[in-house]
Amino acid sequence: MPIVSSQFTAEQWLLIVLVFFLAGAVKGVVGLGLPSIAVGLGSVVVGMKPALALLIVPSFVTNVWQAVAGRSFGMIFERTWPMMLTILVGTWAGVWLLARLDASVLGTVLGLSLIGYSAMGFMRPVLPHPGRYELLLSLPIGIVHGLVAGMTGSYIPAVPFLQAIGLTKDVLVQAMGVVFTLSTIALALAMADQRLLSWDLLLSSAGAVVPALLGMAAGQQLRGRLSEDHFRTCLFAALGLLGAYILWRALARV
C-alpha cells in the first residue's frame, strides 16, 4: 500500500497509482516514457510541482537498473561528461524557474514539451554525427536537457544527441539510463534547494515505486505479444493529445 501523503485525497492516490502503473507499463514495453507520462497525467491529477516531486523515486529506481545493466559506463562517461556537467546547471536553472513561474506558463511549457516529444516520435529525426565537435556540442545539449527536465520532468532532449554519436543499441540503452539517473538526482537536489520537495512528498514518491515496478513487469510481459511499432504510434498519439489538452487548459487560464 502506498505511503499516503496528507496533501492528497484517497481519490487522488488511486489516480496516482494508476498513473504510475501506466507509466511503468509503457517503460516496460518500449524502454522509455515514464517521466513524460507520469508528469503529464500527474499534473492533471495533483498539479505540476507535486507531480514532479512524485516522479523522483520511481524514476531513480527504474533508471539505476537501466544504468548498471551494462559494462560501458567508462566509455559513456568519457563521451558525455561535458553534457553531464551542464545537465546539473540546466536542471538547477529549470527548477529555479519552476518555483517562480505561474501555473499557466508551466502548463504551456509542459504541453508544448509533450507535443514536441510526440512529433519527434512520429518523425524519428536522425541527426548527423557531430564528429570532432561531439564534446563541444554536448555542452548546450546538456543545458537544454536540464532546463526541460527541471521545468517538466521530461528527459527527452538528450536522446537524439546520444543516438547521433553512434552508440550501439545496448550502449545507447545504458547511456540513457546513466543520463536519466543523473537528471533525476539533479532534479531532486534542485527541488529540495527550492523547497519544492518535502519529506512528505519524498515518502509519497517512494510509495509510487510499487505501481511503477508492477507496471514495468506487466509491460515486459506484453512486449513480446505486441507490435512495438504500433504501440509506439499509439503512445506518441496519446502524448500529443495529452499535451494539447494541457496546453489548452494552460491557455484558458491566461
CB within 8 A of 166, min separation 6: which ones? 129
- pLDDT value of position 20: 96
Compare 221 and 214 and report the one with higher pLDDT. Answer: 214
Contact 219, 27 (CB under 8 A): yes
pLDDT for residue 99 is more than 80: yes
pLDDT, tens digit, 9 for 90 and up, residues 115-127 = 988 888 888 777 7
Check whether 3 has a pLDDT greater than 70: no
In this prediction, residues 17-43 reach a mean pLDDT of 89
Residue-level pLDDT at 125: 73
Centroid of chain to Cα 248: 22
Confidence label for 6 from pLDDT (cuts 50, 70 and 90): low
Question: Is pLDDT above 70 for 1?
Answer: no
Tens-place pLDDT, residues 175-214: 988 999 999 999 999 999 999 999 999 999 999 999 999 9
pLDDT, position 142: 95
Give pLDDT, residue 229: 77
Buried b (16+ CB within 10 A) or exposed e, 49-77: bbbbbbbbbbbbbbbbebbeebebeeebe
Burial string for 102-126 (b: 16+ CB within 10 Å, else e) reads: eeebbbbbbbbbbbbbbeebeeeee
